[in-house]
Amino acid sequence: MDYRYATEEDTSLILYFIKELADYEKKLDEVVADEKLLKEWIFDKQKAEVIFALENGKEVGFALFFHNFSTFLGRAGIYLEDLYVMPEYRGKCYGKGLLKTLAKIAIERGCAVWNGGDWNKPSIDFYLSLGAEPMKDWTVYRIAGETLKELAN
């Protein structure tokens, strides 16, 4: 199994994986990202990173992540926004390989932790099998769109 960082030339592939994940989560209608936005935010502004899992040179999964910061720990962490492996490649350890690669990146960068979502039971079971621990007493909230504009005013 091989893994590689995405480059700007992969923008359409990143969007493809985002849409595949959204379709899997039955949220495809919520995707407003397009190639222009992804290029701007991932590559021009360098606000996120993507690694791909490869089988025989073909991208079969991806992880999109970015840095956050823990004031209690006094260091950056890695926030895992998306992890997705194409259905026909599941069960071949690509998801685990992506997480292992992410763990190596975190260690190389001196990062503390990574976070993930809480709705997907198979994913949660997978994280738990790797020794991940749920953070008790924490809930993630989102303010976006018009609500964010109203707050800013």
pLDDT in tens, 80-135: 889 999 999 999 999 889 988 888 888 888 886 665 555 556 666 766 776 767 66
- Annotated catalytic residue within 5, 89, 127, 141: 127
**What is the reported pLDDT for 115?**
59
Mean pLDDT computed over 139-147: 60
Distances (CA, A) of 40 to 37, 120, 142: 5, 29, 22
Closest CA to 105 of 133, 149, 66: 66
Model confidence band, residue 151 (pLDDT cutoffs 50, 70, 90): low
The DSSP code for 29 is G
Is 127 a known active-site residue?
yes
Q: Decide: 61 and 98 in contact? Cβ < 8 Å.
A: yes
Give the pLDDT band (50/70/90) at residue 140. Answer: low
Give residue 80's pLDDT: 87
Task: Kindly report the pTM of this predicted structure.
Answer: 0.80
pLDDT in tens, 36-84: 999 999 999 999 999 999 999 999 999 999 998 888 778 888 888 899 9
In this prediction, residues 17-35 reach a mean pLDDT of 95
- Identify the DSSP state of 25: T
120 burial type by CB count under 10 A (0-12 exposed, 13-18 middle, 19+ buried): middle
- Nearest partner of 96 among 118, 119, 128, judged by Cα: 128
Whether residue 142 is predicted with pLDDT greater than 60 in this model: the reply is no
Confidence (pLDDT) at 52? 98
